[in-house]
Amino acid sequence: MESNITIRRLETNDEYLACHELQKLTWGEGFVDLASPAILKVGQRLGGVTAGAFDRSGSLVGFVFGLTGYRDGEPVHWSDMLAVRPEWRGSGIGKSLKLFQRDEVMKLGVRSVYWTYDPLEARNANLNLNGLGVLIDEYVESMYAADEEGTSLRSGLGTDRFIVRWPIADERVLKTLEGKRKTRPDEYSRISIVNTAIDTRGKPVAVHSDLPDDATVRIEIPASIQDVKNRSAQEGYGWRLNTRRAFIHYLGRGYRIEEFYIDADTGRCFYVLERE
């Protein structure tokens, strides 16, 4: 992360207002799930975290917001929102905000953090799986109602989501954060691609054939689903339908998502799933 960025909890009314504005910049004025300044502030009084990334001038350039509660008698944290201003994306701020959040909730005895992300967003997949070491707990079709979208990021794709669990004190996570978790990039090219949904023009087509029963499979997603969607809404939704079918099929049969990788030669992006 940039050395001139400071990560800390939000403190003033102006900072909470700036966080609200950054939500609108990220998800659009019509996004119905904006967290109000009051909720951002009150949440922190009840074990939640509302933290920001500030540049040298004190301007808010990113934030993370989550709430703490109980599940099966254990304290857990739900990381509800994370956003970084467009000009700062790719600088490591998102990961630094998550790590700050991790440190804060560990003080409360939390050992599992949950959140959702769109399986088609390659940038988020890379951060979550390769940068943080999360586990994919569930694929949820249309998690949010269509009339709740209200943002160009969601429009045209539906709201399918992965629910991820971040076991923040586990060895897998510690190795990932230290850059010590082993991957197998040399082996990936030999694994079957289950949703061969790309025609000779490089566009996705419907997949009707049976999905292979291999012990390890790959599911491809585009390098930028937003670029695909902006080029062709039909093409973007084709990716949604094809990958939804594959993820639901394999996760429902006991496969687990082990890796996400970007092929160094082609730039193509894949999830790697293994049968348990």
Provide the pLDDT for residue 148.
Answer: 46
Say how far apart CA 112 and CA 78 lie, in whole Å: 9
Torsion of CA 152, 250, 185, 91, to 10 degrees: 30
pTM above 0.95, yes or no: no
Residue ranges of the chain whose pLDDT lies below 70: 1-2, 145-155, 195-210
The whole-chain average pLDDT of the chain stands at 89
Provide the pLDDT for residue 147.
Answer: 44
At 172-202, the pLDDT tens digits run 999 999 998 877 777 777 787 776 555 545 5
Q: How much of the chain is in helix, strand and coil states, percent to nearest 5?
A: 35, 30, 40
Query: Domains (ranges, CATH) in the chain?
Result: 6-177 (3.40.630.30), 185-275 (no CATH)
At 7-48, the pLDDT tens digits run 999 999 999 999 999 999 999 888 888 999 999 999 999 999
